[in-house]
Amino acid sequence: MNLARRASAEFTGTGLLVTAVIGSGIAATRLSPGQAGLQLLENAIATGLALAALILTFGPVSGAHFNPIVSAVDWWLGRRSRTGPTGRDLLAYALAQTAGAIGGAVLANLMFGLPAASRATTVRSGSNLWLAETIATAGLVLLIVALARTGRTATAPAAVGAYIGAAYWWTSSTSFANPAVTIGRMFSDTFAGIAPASAPLFLAAQLAGGLLACAAIAWWYPGPAPAAADVVVPQAQQKAAPR
Instruction: Give the integer Cα–Cα distance in Å for 205 and 130.
Output: 6
Total of domains in the chain: 1
Instruction: Give the integer Cα–Cα distance in Å for 242 and 13.
Output: 30
User: Is 132 a domain residue?
Assistant: yes
Instruction: Give the integer Cα–Cα distance in Å for 108 and 242.
Output: 42
Provide the pLDDT for residue 239. 46
User: Is 163 a domain residue?
Assistant: yes
| 157 has pLDDT over 60 | yes
Instruction: Give the torsion sign (CA, 1, 63, 173, 168).
Output: positive
Torsion of CA 78, 15, 212, 196, to 10 degrees: 140
- Closest by CA position to 229, among listed 3, 69, 22: 3
User: Is 225 a domain residue?
Assistant: no
CATH code (residue 207): 1.20.1080.10
User: Is 136 a domain residue?
Assistant: yes
Query: What is the arithmetic mean of pLDDT over 165-175?
Result: 98
User: Is 46 a domain residue?
Assistant: yes
- Closest by CA position to 5, among listed 63, 73, 84, 74: 63
Q: Give Cβ neighbours of residue 110 (< 8 Å, ≥ 6 apart).
A: 116
Instruction: Give the integer Cα–Cα distance in Å for 213 and 134.
Output: 9
Identify the band that residue 237 occupies on the pLDDT scale cut at 50, 70 and 90. low
User: Is 240 a domain residue?
Assistant: no
Instruction: Give the integer Cα–Cα distance in Å for 131 and 191.
Output: 21
Provide the pLDDT for residue 106. 98
Domain enclosing residue 66, as ranges: 3-220
User: Is 122 a domain residue?
Assistant: yes
| 234 has pLDDT over 80 | no
* pTM, to two decimals: 0.93
Provide the pLDDT for residue 229. 65
User: Is 82 a domain residue?
Assistant: yes
In this predicted model, what pLDDT tens digit does every residue of 13-54 receive, in sequence order? 999 999 999 999 999 999 999 999 999 999 999 999 999 999
